[in-house]
Each structure stands twice: as C-alpha cells, then as structure tokens.
C-alpha cells in the first residue's frame, strides 16, 4: 500500500525536476568526447610504430624519413576541437534572431524560430551552449551579475521562467510564471510584467535546490484590459515603464507601473512600436495603426510627455523600425527604405548635446542589437528573412561621447 509520504515523495521528486532538460547536443558531445580521447592513443601508437620502423633498418628509415613520416603524423593529428567549431566573424546563423544581449565574455542569441537561446564566446564566436525550454523561450534578460533570465510558454498551463548561470550550464526553475518581459533587479530577483501588474519573482540560484516564489507587487497596476498585455518594460528614472498591447501586438501604449492613468500613445495616431530608455528619457518609435513597420522617433520625459531635444532634424528619424539603448547611446534600426542603401542602422549620443545622427554600413533589416561601450553587435536578416548575420562594429566616436545626461525625473 502506498502511504501519503510515499506519494508526496514521488510528487516532490517529479516537481523538482520537471523543468530539467539535458543539453540538446548530448549524444554528439558524448561521441566527440570518446573520439577525442581515442585520438591521442592512436597518435601514440602511430608514433611508436614510427620508432619501431626507424629501428628496423637505417636505409628504410632514411628512405621513408621526411616525407612519409611527416605526412603520416600530420594526417593522424586531429584538428583541435575548439578551432573546428570556431567561426570567423561575422557570425552566420540559419535562423531569424529575435533578441541579442552581451554580457561578460558571452554573446546571447535568441532564435525567433525555435526559441533556442545560445551563448557564444564573444572573442572567438565559438558556440558555448544552447538551451531550448519547453515550447521555446519567449523572452530573456541578463541580470546585474550576468545571470540569465528566460521565460517560456509551451502551452496554457505549461509556462515558466528559468534562471541560468552565465554560460547556460546551470539553471533553476519557476514553473507557472512567464512573461514577455523580464526586468532583473538582483542576482535572484526579477520583475515580470503580467496583465495586472508587476510580479516580483525570487528564484534559487542556478543549479540550487529550492522553490521559486512570486507575488504581485502592490501598487504596480497597469490599467484595465484590453490594452494591458505587456510587451516590453524598461526602468527609466527609477520607474518601470511598460509597453502594453491589445494582445495581438496592436495598439501599443506606454504606461508607468502603478500609475495607470499616466499613459502615452494608443490608436489611431501614436501607436508605440518600440521604446528604449537613457537616463531619465524615453526614446519611442511612434507610428500609426496603419503602418506597423516604421514610425517617428519621439523623446518623452519621465511623465511620458513629449520632451526635447531630439537630434537635429534628420529624415532618418521618421523612418525608424526599432530602437535600443546602451549607456548614453541610442541605436536605431531604419525601415525598408534604408535596407537597400546599405545604411540600415544609425546611432547618436545623448547628453548636453544630442546627436548628430550617424549611420552605419549595415545591409538588410536589423532585427536585433546589443552593444557595449565600444562595440555593437548587429543582427541583420538576409533577404529571405530565414537566416541572420551577426556582425560587430566599433561604436562611432560621435555616438559614444561621454556626456552624462541630466538626472531623471521622479
């Protein structure tokens, strides 16, 4: 007869490991490891044979000396595994890329086709590790200690968030809570925007036993449906600003968590396609309901009111499809009109003087971007849109002038 303790043990074991997945390339890794350990034995055996051959007869060895032994040894020496997997920049990927992030020695790439998150070595472009959560990842974010937060939604009821170590080797799991947007606030805590407000999610460190917990943060309501499906969040001037949509990606608006009446945008005139923050400012791509591809760059203050200055008038600023920020630099993906021109990316610095706008020689549609102070990683779709090239560029000097922006409004 099964006792209650036995049933609970079985359930606890099942729950604690529900989210665990072996690495996707495990069988290949096993083969590679076994073969790489065999190779030195083969080489050693070959070397021993060569020595024996040399000892058999001087004339035979002399005849065979340089060309054959040298070539045989060369043939038997395996190519270093690392260099075989290393790809030269730019990185060419056979899938569309949804999001990039850079932290420490890693470049993280989220596939929009499979929901697989990959970690590459920034210096060598070597693939370090890939993880694919159930149903694929919907969003990820890198926290202050380089830990990686990743949400997934396989099916109704089968959703969750993982907290992974920087190399994606270890993870802990929070089954039952996922978001389109995650804002890490410490090594083990993050805010997850959901329909009715922000959840504070606390998780065990990656690889640790323990349970996650989350609770709705009081005073973070986002307003009433239908326009409260969060599709992005940024901390700007100490406030969490959330982009909401109608659930189908339409009617984008901005709202400050906890102040649902402070809003910007909405159909039909100023639909928020995308936004990013620098210091106390928001940079918003605002378009119309009829044109979901491009919009005009608008600057908002901490109360979501239009504010200046914007960079000196540039036609580029009315053809923006996406915006990112890194420090005091704003990056702009330009719309289809710029794709063929070979200048589909632009940037400018924000500070006492904002701008000028500098374009970069990037072809195709920029779909993802991540930047450090000196380098920008740009994911551009190929013409068919099914694959991506990730190239690196130095940040133009005029886009990284160290001009601290005035303190953010509160």
List the one residue from 203, 316, 334, 360 that touches other proteins (CB under 8 A): 203
Least Å distance between CB 325 and other proteins?
28
Least Å distance between CB 120 and other proteins?
20
Degrees to nearest 5, angle at CA 9 with 8 and 14: 95
By the rule CB under 8 A, 11 interacts with other proteins: yes
Q: Give the binding range for other proteins (CB under 8 A) out of 1-9, 91-99, 227-235, 247-255.
A: 1-9
By the rule CB under 8 A, 30 interacts with other proteins: yes
Distance CA 160, CA 211 (A): 13
Distance of CA 347 to CAs 49, 91, 276, 299, Å?
A: 62, 22, 13, 15
Under rule CB under 8 A, which residues in 214-243 are in contact with other proteins?
214-215
Distance CA 77, CA 115 (A): 38
In angstroms, the first-to-last Cα distance of the chain is 63
Considering the complex, state which of residue 8 and residue 39 has its C-beta at the smaller distance from other proteins: 8
List the one residue from 74, 209, 308, 384 that touches other proteins (CB under 8 A): 209
Under rule CB under 8 A, which residues in 124-183 are in contact with other proteins?
169-171
By the rule CB under 8 A, 22 interacts with other proteins: yes
At 116, is the secondary structure helix, strand, or coil? coil
**Sign of the C-alpha dihedral computed for residues 92, 96, 101 and 106 taken in this order:** negative
Considering the complex, state which of residue 1 and residue 384 has its C-beta at the smaller distance from other proteins: 1
Least Å distance between CB 232 and other proteins?
25
Size of site (CB under 8 A) for other proteins: 47
Buried-exposed string 62-86: b where 16+ CB fall within 10 A, e elsewhere:
eebeeeebeeeeeeeeeeeeeeeee
Contacts of 320 (CB under 8 A, 6+ apart): 285, 294, 295, 296, 297, 332, 333, 334, 335
List the one residue from 8, 68, 318, 356 that touches other proteins (CB under 8 A): 8
Residues that bind other proteins (CB under 8 A): 3-6, 8-17, 20-23, 26-27, 29-31, 33-34, 169-171, 186-189, 200, 202-215
């Amino acid at each position: 007869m099964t006792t209650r303790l036995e049933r609970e043990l079985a359930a606890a074991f099942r729950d604690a490991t529900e989210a665990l997945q072996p690495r996707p390339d495990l069988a290949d890794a096993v083969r590679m490891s076994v073969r790489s350990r065999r190779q030195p034995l083969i080489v050693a055996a070959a070397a021993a044979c060569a020595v024996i051959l040399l000892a058999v007869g001087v004339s035979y060895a002399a005849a065979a000396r340089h060309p054959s032994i040298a070539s045989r040894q060369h043939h038997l020496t395996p190519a270093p595994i690392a260099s075989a997997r290393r790809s030269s920049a730019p990185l060419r990927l056979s899938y569309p890329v949804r999001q990039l992030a850079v932290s420490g020695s890693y470049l993280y790439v989220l596939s929009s086709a499979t929901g697989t998150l990959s970690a590459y070595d920034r210096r060598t472009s070597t693939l370090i590790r890939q993880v694919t959560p159930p149903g694929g990842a919907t969003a990820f974010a890198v926290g202050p200690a380089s830990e990686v937060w990743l949400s997934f939604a396989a099916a109704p009821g089968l959703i969750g968030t993982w907290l992974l170590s920087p190399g994606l080797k270890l993870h802990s799991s929070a089954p039952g809570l996922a978001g389109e947007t995650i804002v890490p606030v410490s090594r083990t805590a993050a805010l997850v925007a959901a329909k009715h407000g922000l959840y504070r999610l606390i998780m065990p460190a990656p690889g640790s036993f323990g349970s996650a917990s989350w609770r709705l943060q009081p005073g973070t309501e986002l307003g009433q449906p239908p326009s409260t499906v969060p599709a992005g969040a940024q901390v700007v001037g100490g406030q969490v600003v959330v982009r909401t949509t109608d659930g189908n990606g339409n009617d984008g608006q901005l709202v400050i968590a906890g102040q649902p009446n402070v809003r910007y945008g909405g159909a039909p005139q100023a639909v928020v396609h995308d936004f990013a923050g620098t210091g106390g400012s928001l940079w918003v791509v605002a378009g119309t309901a009829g044109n979901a591809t491009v919009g005009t760059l608008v600057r908002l203050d901490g109360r979501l009111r239009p504010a200046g200055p914007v960079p000196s008038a540039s036609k580029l600023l009315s053809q923006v499809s996406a915006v990112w920020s890194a420090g005091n630099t704003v990056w702009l993906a330009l719309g289809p009109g710029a794709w063929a021109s070979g200048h589909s990316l632009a940037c400018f610095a924000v500070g006492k003087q904002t701008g000028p706008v500098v374009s970069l020689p990037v072809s195709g549609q920029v779909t993802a971007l991540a930047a450090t102070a000196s380098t920008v990683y740009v994911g551009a779709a190929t013409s068919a849109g099914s694959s991506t090239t990730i190239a690196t560029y130095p940040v133009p000097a005029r886009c990284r002038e160290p001009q601290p922006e005035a303190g953010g409004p509160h």
